[in-house]
Amino acid sequence: MMRISSTDIPTVRLRAAQCVVIVRDEGRHWQPLADALMSAFVVRLAANASELMEHLVPIEHVACVCVVSHGLHLRDVHDTFVRAGGAPERVVFVSEDDTASPAALDAISRVVRRLASL
């Protein structure tokens, strides 16, 4: 019988999953964006600045915040993210056109992936 030492077993270090928080209004077309991002990120949803704050811990795991909202004060979302320690350039404002087609969703997904790699 062959014995394997614990030093012979390779150690695999998994990188913590990065999260994208989508701040959205129920009336906005946000689901296609969430679906497009779920293959690469953990996607969290927030309806207001308080819910956003809950998803920003730990801030190191947040790739970016995508804002798909007309009803929220965009400054509040930005300020909440920055107060939690997020870099302001990681807030992405998503228009209706950005979720209207597969090509537009792909473009937004590339932006999010680029931010996640910084």
In a domain, 104, yes or no: yes
In a domain, 6, yes or no: no
Judge whether residue 4 has pLDDT over 80: no
Which CATH number does the domain housing residue 104 bear?
3.40.50.280
Angle at 74 between CA 94 and CA 98, to 5 degrees: 5
pLDDT value at residue 14: 47
Judge whether residue 42 has pLDDT over 90: yes
Q: What percent of the chain has pLDDT over 70?
A: 86
In a domain, 50, yes or no: yes
Q: Residue 37's domain spans which residues?
A: 17-117
Range 17-40 average pLDDT: 90
* Residue 46: closest CA among 76, 18, 16: 76
Range 90-116 average pLDDT: 92
Beta bridge partners of 44: 21
Tens digit of each residue's pLDDT (9 = 90 or more) over 48-100: 889 999 999 899 999 999 998 877 778 888 999 999 999 999 999 998 888 88
In 6-101, which ranges are continuous DSSP H helix?
Answer: 31-37, 49-54, 74-83
Range 105-111 average pLDDT: 94
Judge whether residue 1 has pLDDT over 70: no
In a domain, 29, yes or no: yes
